[in-house]
Amino acid sequence: LEDAYEPGSIMKILTTAAAINSGNYNGNATFKSGSYSIDGNAINDWNPAGWGEISYHDGFIRSSNVGMAKLEQAMGSKTWMNYIKRFGLLKSTNAGLGNEVSGSIEYKYPIEQANTAFGQGINVTVFQMLQAISAVANNGKMVKPYLVSKVVDPNTGKTVYSQSPKVVGRPIRSETAKEVRELMEDVVTDKDGTGTAYKN
């Protein structure tokens, strides 16, 4: 809560969700992977050679930075920033656990805007990401994270404090959430996915 960090590739879940929800995603469309230049600044995939011309579906499961940058450009910086805010980033989740930071972003230039699509140049807290990704898990309903469900007085057995799930936003449609979850599954189950080591 008190420390913000660059989320990196986990941000691709939110970028893809935003692109789908805003009508700027076509999983079958293709792009050239490996490297991409924006205003003379290079964006590179973790595999600098790339995988040739691949679909956006493959771009997600292979964790392509280039694919995400292109999705951000398809959405436009205003739409993407709107979703960053809709997902509750850049502000405290108000979890009630002390000095929670808001996070920060570098978003002035096109290269900075594209960088945020794959989790660089933006700082978030773990709780912010938990809250944001809960929208994908809960069919579009974003819930506020909490650690303590209840406190019971050991002497009287009475509950002196309780907390339950609270919906704090609906940044994406249920159909969008379902599509993103299917893409996330493919990261593990598809032979080209970056998470195949976790397939059991």
Q: What residues act catalytically? A: 9
3 state DSSP class of 122: strand
**One-letter identity of residue 200:** N
**Per DSSP, what are the bridge partners of residue 31?**
54
Contacts of 171 (CB under 8 A, 6+ apart): 17, 21, 83, 86, 87, 88, 132, 135, 140, 142
Distance CA 119, CA 89 (A): 12
Q: Which is nearest to 17 in space by CA: 68, 65, 62? A: 68
Residue 146 backbone dihedrals phi, psi, to 5 degrees: -150, 155
CA-CA distances (angstroms) from residue 155 to 55, 79, 139, 163? 62, 54, 41, 21
Instruction: Give how far the C-alpha of residue 67 lies from the chain's centroid of Cα atoms, to the nearest Å.
Output: 14
Distance of CA 15 to the CA centre of its chain: 6
